[in-house]
């Protein structure tokens, strides 16, 4: 089970300290939400911040590009220290070349899908990716409520993963707290992005440990009541 705190929910006045806190927390990845004010109605941070934070931790940087023109960002983020680079299926025909470009840069290939987009949109590409990021909120802001209607999509993608014997991570992102982590794990998720719920805790280490424990327990016993 992968626990990935989202930098979007960190204290912007203390990014270095926050990354050190994530590094010490036992988290698996650092989720970096990149927003361009075009693909989503918000702007966050760019390659320069990733480059600054890179030396502070050996944790993989899970970079989520919520950007209309990711083709101009792939190399800057790859050179700044991104390990996983994810682009949105909603970008349409340009997605396949983007996935190959991420691969050619030697990075792990991620594909994200928004709540209104049907799972069938990503099925043809599942064999080409290392990570499917299933958005459980509409992208753009942290602290939003979890969208329950996405659960069947997680179940469908997990079923395809098993049927096709694929190995990509199934990551969920948005409104993930302990209860939603368990619910998504039961549906087949194995990677959990969490911003508000984790960064809001005084003891991040305990919160990460607890979220991983509930996800493992739910994954092992899908039928168990919450």
Element (H, E) at 225: none
What are the residues facing 4 on neighbouring strands? 193
Q: Which range touches ligand DX5 (CB under 6 A), out of 13-21, 67-75, 101-109, 139-147? A: 139-147
Say whether 173 is catalytic.
Answer: yes
Closest to 84 in 3D by CA, of 49, 57, 56, 112: 112
Q: What are the tokens at 32?
A: 């970096």
Question: Which one among 173, 181, 185, 218 touches Zn ion, defined by CB under 5 A?
Answer: 173
Selection from Zn ion, ligand DX5, none that 204 binds (CB < 5 to 8 A by kind) is none
Cβ(85)–Cβ(47) under 8 Å? no
Q: Which of residues 148-167 bind Zn ion (CB under 5 A)?
A: none
Minimum distance, C-beta of residue 200 to ligand DX5, in the bound complex (Å): 8
How many residues lie near ligand DX5 (CB under 6 A)?
22
Say whether 190 is catalytic.
Answer: no
Specify burial of residue 50 (Cβ count, 10 A radius: 0-12, 13-18, 19+): buried
Q: How many CB atoms lie within 10 A of CB 151?
A: 20
Rg (CA), the chain: 16
Query: Which residue is closest to ligand DX5 by CB?
Result: 195
Site string for ligand DX5, 179-198 (x = CB under 6 A): --------------xxxxx-
Question: Which one among 3, 30, 39, 64 touches Zn ion, defined by CB under 5 A?
Answer: 64
Closest to 199 in 3D by CA, of 2, 5, 17: 5
Residues of the shown chain interacting with Zn ion in the complex, contacts defined by CB under 5 A = 33, 64, 173
Residues of the shown chain interacting with ligand DX5 in the complex, contacts defined by CB under 6 A = 6, 8-9, 31, 33, 64, 66, 137, 139-140, 142-144, 173-176, 193-197
């Amino acid at each position: 089970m992968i626990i990935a705190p989202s930098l979007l929910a960190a204290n912007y006045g203390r990014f270095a300290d926050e990354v050190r806190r994530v590094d010490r927390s036992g988290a698996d990845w650092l989720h970096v939400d990149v927003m361009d004010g075009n693909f989503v109605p918000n702007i966050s941070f760019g390659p320069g911040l990733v480059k600054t934070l890179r030396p502070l931790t050996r944790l993989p940087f899970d970079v989520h590009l919520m950007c209309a023109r990711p083709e101009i960002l792939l190399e800057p983020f790859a050179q700044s220290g991104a390990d996983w680079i994810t682009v949105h299926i909603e970008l349409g025909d340009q997605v396949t070349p983007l996935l190959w470009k991420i691969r050619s840069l030697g990075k792990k290939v991620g594909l994200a899908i928004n709540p209104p987009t049907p799972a069938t949109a990503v099925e043809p590409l599942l064999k080409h990716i290392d990570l499917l990021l299933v958005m459980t909120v509409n992208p753009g802001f942290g602290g939003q409520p979890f969208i329950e209607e996405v659960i069947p999509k997680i179940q469908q993608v997990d079923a395809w993963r098993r049927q096709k014997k694929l190995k990509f991570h199934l990551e969920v992102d948005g409104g993930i707290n302990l209860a939603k982590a368990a619910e998504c794990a039961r549906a087949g998720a194995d990677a959990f992005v969490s911003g508000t719920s984790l960064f809001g805790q005084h003891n991040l280490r305990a919160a990460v440990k607890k979220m991983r424990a509930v996800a493992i327990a739910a994954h092992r016993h899908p039928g168990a009541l919450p």
